[in-house]
Amino acid sequence: MNYFPIFLDAKMINVLVVGGGEIASAKIDLLMKSPAKVTVVSPKVSANIQALIDDNRIIYINGSYEISQLAGKQLVFVATENRRLNEQINLDARAQGVLANVVDNADLCHFITPAIIDRSPMVFAMVSSGQSPVLLRYWREKLETMIPQSLGQLASFAGAKRQAVKDHFSNFANRRLFWERFFTNTGIEQGVDLETTFNTQLASSMDKANNQAELLLINAPEHPDLLTLGAVRNMQKADNILHDANVAPNIIDLCRRDAPKAISNDNNIAQTLALLQQGKRVCYLHLGDVAADHPLLAAAEDKNYPLYRFNCASQ
């Protein structure tokens, strides 16, 4: 991963845009969706940029670029056709500790802007690291049709209800289980009133000790594409991950990111059993068949822990 993905608090960003044409206008339009402070420098500007200037939404410097204009800026977008000027701004920005993006010239960029699917406050961003813009555009368009427009409303609703859920449940595991059930409620997908669905589910949810102990056995394939949807869904719900030493890293990466992970061996079997006794969901990614007398299977049977098996698609 050559580019580190990060979302910045736009209220803290002061941006310089060098150039006043259509390409600069497109960058400014994106910036205008955030509270970032934008300054444009160019001898002339497009009609769209002029409208923003007239509305006092951006600061305009009628003239040419000077290094002093980088003072106090965190980012600079360079959208000119003057290669020598673009190279100079790149050097100036680096010397001033300002991150520069020179449009259509990856070699002069300190950062790149991703393709975005905006369902604010949910925002999805993706890049091809400059390798295949057409492929990136294809997938953005594909995902646009898959991600519902109502997702932003749902995210805002959940944010407003976080404290109510926190007050109702005394532990994190129960809160997470509540939200998982809420977000996958069929009524939510069909447009049922969010408030009614939320209140009904909360009223019927007891704050009790988390006894959701489960042992999930997933036969890991050679390639992630061979994992079934059910396998991936449960990998992302597990509290702890145990895996054989030779399971591919790109398989393990699909597990819940904050779940502790350990290589299966004789030394951590007892620790895994203790996690099950605490009511944890434990996912074991294994290669090949698991022996019937494996300690984890024996414990699951002895303690009546729910046991679920998932095979890869080729099996």
Residues recognised as catalytic: 244, 261
Q: How far apart are CA 37 and CA 32, in angstroms?
A: 9
Long-range contacts of 268-274 (CB under 8 A, 24+ apart): 268/242, 269/295, 269/296, 272/240, 272/242, 272/296, 273/299
Verify cis geometry, omega within 30 degrees of 0, for the bond prior to 121. yes
Q: Give the three-state DSSP class for 147.
A: coil
Sheet with 307-310, side-by-side order of all strands: 261-263, 240-243, 281-286, 214-219, 307-310
Joined tokens for residue 287: 């290669």
Say if strands 37-42 and 14-18 run parallel, antiparallel, or are unpaired: parallel
DSSP secondary structure string for all residues of 255-287 = S-TTS-EEE--TTTHHHHHHHHHTT-EEEEEES
CA of 209: how far to CAs of 152, 161, 162, 164, 264, in Å?
32, 22, 20, 19, 28
- The answer to whether residues 16 and 39 touch, using CB atoms and an 8 Å cutoff, is yes
Eight-state DSSP code of residue 168: H
CA of 94: how far to CAs of 65, 97, 98, 99, 286, in Å?
16, 5, 6, 7, 48
